[in-house]
Amino acid sequence: MTAPLDEKLEPIYQDVLRRNPGETEFHQAVREVLETLGPVLVKYPEFAEHKVIQRICEPERQIIFRVPWEDDKGETHINRAFRVEFNSALGPYKGGLRFHPSVYLGIIKFLGFEQVFKNSLTGLPIGGGKGGSDFDPKGRSDSEIMRFCQSLMTELYRHLGEYTDVPAGDIGVGQREIGYLFGQYKRITNRYESAVFTGKGLDWGGSRARREATGYGTVYFVHEMLKARSEELDGKTCIVSGSGNVAIYAMQKAMQLGAKVIACSDSSGMVVDEKGIDLKLVRRIKEVERRRISVYAEEKKGARYIEDGNIWTIPCDVALPCATQNELTAKDAKKLVEQGCIAVAEGANMPTTPEGIRIFKDAGIAFGPGKAANAGGVATSALEMQQNASRDSWTFEFTEKRLEEIMVNIHNDCFETADEFGEPDNYVVGANIAGFLRVSRAMVAMGLI
């Protein structure tokens, strides 16, 4: 069951459905935003006049291309890659690349659409875009990954530039992949254009705290939501889905702020460790050895591994979905609420289904949507671009401080905007409207573009 749309917005949504058939994740992301924009059109009728919403729902440019590459046995493979340059009203397109077999245009468009609002919320000069490929990096050797990245960049490079489009990582794309991609970009263009990629290694233009930023930022956001309710993270029990980049550093910051993290997962199953997750072990298994999370229970006495286990059945105070889209359903949301969960913040993009979000809202628990709660990653990417532009390198402490300030500002902006539009405590409404207003004002100011 979805909420009805404002009468001005329903035809816009119908048009999105008609023009983008079969792209269900994109439809979901658009609908979730449109459901909250009715009051904005009442207050600011000029946005309807200038057809800003119709324009925001249509990417400025979409690039789809073939990526041929050879595996270690000499066999040829063909993948498909995408870059959706969604909106550049606030700055160059900015958003990650995802390598996962589930990737198709609808996933990249949902991510690009979300990115526009998220980047706007950071208050930094970055537009929104996203890209990726249906390539599956799992089980591939470093040389195979390198050949794939080089082939992809041989086409993608012509669309990038520090003032045009600046990719970063996402699922399946970490520092190793960014290295191969940046290396090929540099080789083809004969330019050391550091700010054309973010998430780089520290020796070659990367920012301290970028690796940690998304997970840390998500926890700062949940911390602020709890503070607004006179609660704190200290002493709370926490569960985190995933065990990739976002999940690992969300666990780390949650632990630093006094929470006890008792479960995490990967796409094969979950581990529960009532004594508290041993993060050093998770990092070794995932970051160094690139193995499955099941290894954790083999090596840790007292920990349980549950194949295909549903992490949302584990009782907790705070839940942080940090794996992938639509991983937390209505049934999961009900279970979390029943078992006493008081706060959820999305480290991943759109991990909660619309029905799940409604259950959290009705139960009155603090819910931080990904657009706001995981914006720390892209914000720190924009800080990386700043450092590259000024040939500077900031300390970890300074960068983390900036990240924390940005997350506090995003929280307050969402909180105050929700209040202003008559939906106190509704961070979904606050994030959508605050993100929308900044992009829309810029679009109107720039004329019909």
Nearer to ligand NDP, 9 or 261 (CB): 261
The candidate with the shortest Cα–Cα distance to 121, out of 353, 447, 428, 448, is 428
Interface pick for ligand NDP out of 322, 336, 414, 433 (rule CB under 6 A):
322
Stretch that binds ligand NDP, among 145-153, 262-270, 360-368, 422-430 (CB under 6 A): 262-270
Site of tokens 């970063």 = 168
Of the candidate spans 222-230, 337-345, 346-354, 413-421, the one that interacts with ligand NDP by CB under 6 A turns out to be 346-354
Tell me, yes or no, if 130 is annotated catalytic: yes
377 lines the binding site for ligand NDP (CB under 6 A): yes
Q: Which residue is nearest to ligand NDP (CB)?
A: 244
CB 213 within 8 A of CB 380: yes
Query: Cβ 11 to ligand NDP, closest distance in Å?
Result: 30
The nearest distance, CB 348 to ligand NDP, in angstroms, is 3
Q: Which of 149, 246, 319, 343 binds ligand NDP (CB under 6 A)?
A: 246
Place of tokens 């940090």: 322
Judged by beta carbon, residue 247 or residue 257, the one nearer ligand NDP is 247
The least CB distance from residue 107 to ligand NDP, in Å, is 10
What is the Cα–Cα distance from 417 to 424, expressed in whole angstroms? 9
Q: Which of 20, 36, 88, 243 binds ligand NDP (CB under 6 A)?
A: 243
In the complex, minimum distance from the CB of residue 39 to ligand NDP, in angstroms, rounded to a whole number: 28
Single residue of 36, 184, 324, 399 touching ligand NDP by CB under 6 A: 324
Q: Quote the CA–CA distance of 246 and 380 in Å, as a whole number.
A: 13
Least distance from ligand NDP to the Cβ atom of residue 79, Å:
17
Kindly write out the interface string for residues 150-179 of this chain, putting x where it contacts ligand NDP by CB under 6 A and - elsewhere: -------------------xxxx-------
Least distance in Å: CB of 378 to ligand NDP? 6
Closest separation between CB of residue 135 and ligand NDP, Å?
A: 13
Q: Considering the rule CB under 6 A, would residue 368 count as an interface residue with ligand NDP?
A: no
Give the residue carrying structure tokens 């324009």. Answer: 55
Number of residues that bind ligand NDP (CB under 6 A): 23
Shortest gap between Cβ of 50 and ligand NDP (angstroms)? 30
3-state secondary structure labels for all residues of the chain: CCCCCCCCCHHHHHHHHHHCCCCHHHHHHHHHHHHHHHHHHHHCCHHHHCCHHHHHCCCCEEEEEEEEEECCCCCEEEEEEEEEEEECCCCCEEEEEEECCCCCHHHHHHHHHHHHHHHHHCCCCCCEEEEEECCCCCCCCHHHHHHHHHHHHHHHHHHCECCCEEEECECCECHHHHHHHHHHHHHHHCCCCHHHCCCCCHHHCCCCCHHHHHHHHHHHHHHHHHHHCCCCCCCCEEEEECCCHHHHHHHHHHHHCCCEEEEEECCCEEEECCCCCCHHHHHHHHHHCCCCCHHHHHHCCCCEEEECCCHHHCCCCEEEECCCCCCECHHHHHHHHHCCCCEEECCCCCCECHHHHHHHHHHCCEEECHHHHCCHHHHHHHHHHHHHHCCCCCCHHHHHHHHHHHHHHHHHHHHHHHHHCCCCCCHHHHHHHHHHHHHHHHHHHCCCC
**Is residue 352 within the footprint of ligand NDP (CB under 6 A)?**
no
Does position 348 interact with ligand NDP (CB under 6 A)? The reply is yes
In angstroms, the CA 352 to CA 241 distance is 12
| 245 is an interface residue for ligand NDP by CB under 6 A | yes
Binding letters toward ligand NDP, positions 265-304, x by CB under 6 A: -xxx------------------------------------
Stretch that binds ligand NDP, among 19-27, 154-162, 178-186, 244-252 (CB under 6 A): 244-252
Q: Which two tokens stand for residue 237?
A: 């029990």
Specify the residue, 23 or 170, whose C-beta has the smaller distance to ligand NDP: 170
Should residue 242 be labelled a site residue for ligand NDP when binding is judged by CB under 6 A? yes
Sole window of 11-19, 38-46, 243-251, 424-432 interacting with ligand NDP (rule: CB under 6 A) = 243-251
Report residue 205 as tokens: 């233009």
Binding window for ligand NDP (CB under 6 A); candidates: 45-53, 157-165, 229-237, 342-350:
342-350
One symbol per residue from 187 to 226: x for binding ligand NDP (CB under 6 A), - otherwise; what is it?
Answer: ---------------------------x------------
Residues 6+ apart with CB under 8 A from 385: 126, 162, 166, 195, 198
Q: Which of 118, 130, 253, 371 is catalytic?
A: 130
Q: Which residues lie near ligand NDP (CB under 6 A)? A: 169-172, 214, 242-247, 266-268, 322-324, 327, 347-349, 374, 377
Known catalytic residues are 130
